[in-house]
């Protein structure tokens, strides 16, 4: 690089200033999301507001609106990590397995395990704000429901291998999803009746009924 192409002192200072401001913006955004996450766990979806988030981090509500247009956009961003964990859990449960029915069984168990481990997030993701599934996060084009591609692919694999009877892949996938979703929803809403031990029994019985009907 010749002397003429080297950035001047003013340019270097300007670049450093931009980098510092960007770093500060990212740090504040992270602080907002962390405060929102804490309040979400403490008070639930309905129990916290952007004003409370602002108070938690010591900023005015106006500052929060510079990063998130409203509560929905903040919740949507807050669930990014939860959806990532969900998709990872499903893939990790099935990737090491080659037997088609064993893959489906592992997938169902991983779904239930995620829901019961993250009940608050699960309720917002799949009950209270199911519309979020049809939306794509920033800089992405696929909606979040694409995380269920692993279920559809596993069902298609089981049909192609002859382990499941021929049928509509989407319909069978929705059936399996509905059954596992029902187990999680009952366990979350009625924990005194649907205890962890009962969940394991119902889960096993549900899988047996599925195989009897579909194999």
Q: What is the reported pLDDT for 157?
A: 92
- Domain containing residue 33: CATH number: 1.10.10.60
- For residues 190 and 152, membership in a common domain is answered with yes
Q: What is the reported pLDDT for 9?
A: 66
- For residues 13 and 116, membership in a common domain is answered with no
- For residues 60 and 31, membership in a common domain is answered with yes
- For residues 96 and 55, membership in a common domain is answered with no
pTM: 0.77
Which residue has tokens 């009952």?
186
- For residues 121 and 202, membership in a common domain is answered with yes
Q: How many CA within 13 A on the CB side of residue 77?
A: 17
Q: Does residue 45 form part of some domain?
A: yes
Residues 66, 151: Cα–Cα separation, whole Å = 38
Q: Does residue 137 form part of some domain?
A: yes
Residues 104, 201: Cα–Cα separation, whole Å = 17
Number of domains in the chain: 2
- For residues 57 and 86, membership in a common domain is answered with no
Q: Does residue 75 form part of some domain?
A: no
Residues 66, 196: Cα–Cα separation, whole Å = 43
Residues 34, 42: Cα–Cα separation, whole Å = 12
- For residues 102 and 204, membership in a common domain is answered with yes
Find the domain containing 10 and state its range: 3-70
Q: Does residue 56 form part of some domain?
A: yes
What letter does residue 125 receive in the DSSP assignment?
A: I
3-class secondary structure, 161: coil
Q: Does residue 47 form part of some domain?
A: yes
Residues sharing a CB contact under 8 Å with residue 175, sequence separation 6 or more, in sequence order: 210
- Domain containing residue 167: CATH number: 1.10.357.10
Alpha carbon of 204 to those of 79, 120, 151, 197: distances in Å?
Answer: 29, 24, 18, 11
- For residues 48 and 86, membership in a common domain is answered with no
Tokens of 1: 């690089």
pLDDT by 10s per residue, the chain, length 215: 455 567 786 666 666 566 666 667 788 888 898 888 888 888 888 888 889 999 999 988 888 898 888 888 888 888 888 888 888 898 899 888 999 999 999 999 999 999 999 998 898 888 888 787 777 776 666 777 777 888 899 999 999 999 999 999 999 999 999 999 999 999 998 988 888 888 989 988 888 888 888 88
- For residues 35 and 132, membership in a common domain is answered with no
Q: Does residue 186 form part of some domain?
A: yes
- For residues 96 and 126, membership in a common domain is answered with yes
Q: Does residue 89 form part of some domain?
A: yes
- For residues 114 and 168, membership in a common domain is answered with yes
- For residues 121 and 189, membership in a common domain is answered with yes
Burial class (CB in 10 A: 0-12, 13-18, 19+), 116: middle
Residues sharing a CB contact under 8 Å with residue 90, sequence separation 6 or more, in sequence order: 107, 110, 111, 114, 147, 150, 151
């Amino acid at each position: 690089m010749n002397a003429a192409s080297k950035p001047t002192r003013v340019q270097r200072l300007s670049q450093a200033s931009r980098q510092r401001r960007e770093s500060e913006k990212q740090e504040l955004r992270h602080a907002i999301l962390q405060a929102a996450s804490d309040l979400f766990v403490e008070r639930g979806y309905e129990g916290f507001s952007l004003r409370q988030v602002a108070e938690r981090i010591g900023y005015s509500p106006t500052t929060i609106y510079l990063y998130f247009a409203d509560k929905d956009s903040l919740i949507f961003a807050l669930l990014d990590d939860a959806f990532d964990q969900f998709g990872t859990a499903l893939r990790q449960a099935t990737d090491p397995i080659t037997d088609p029915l064993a893959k489906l069984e592992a997938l169902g168990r991983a779904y239930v395990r995620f829901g019961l481990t993250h009940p608050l997030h699960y309720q917002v993701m799949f009950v209270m704000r199911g519309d979020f599934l049809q939306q794509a996060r920033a800089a992405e084009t696929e909606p979040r429901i694409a995380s269920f591609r692993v279920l559809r692919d596993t069902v298609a694999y089981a049909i192609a291998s002859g382990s499941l009877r021929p049928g509509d892949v989407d319909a069978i996938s929705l059936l399996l999803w509905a059954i596992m979703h029902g187990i999680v929803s009952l366990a979350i809403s009625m924990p005194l009746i649907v205890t962890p031990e009962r969940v394991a029994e119902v889960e096993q019985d549900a899988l047996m009924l599925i195989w009897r009907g579909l194999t």
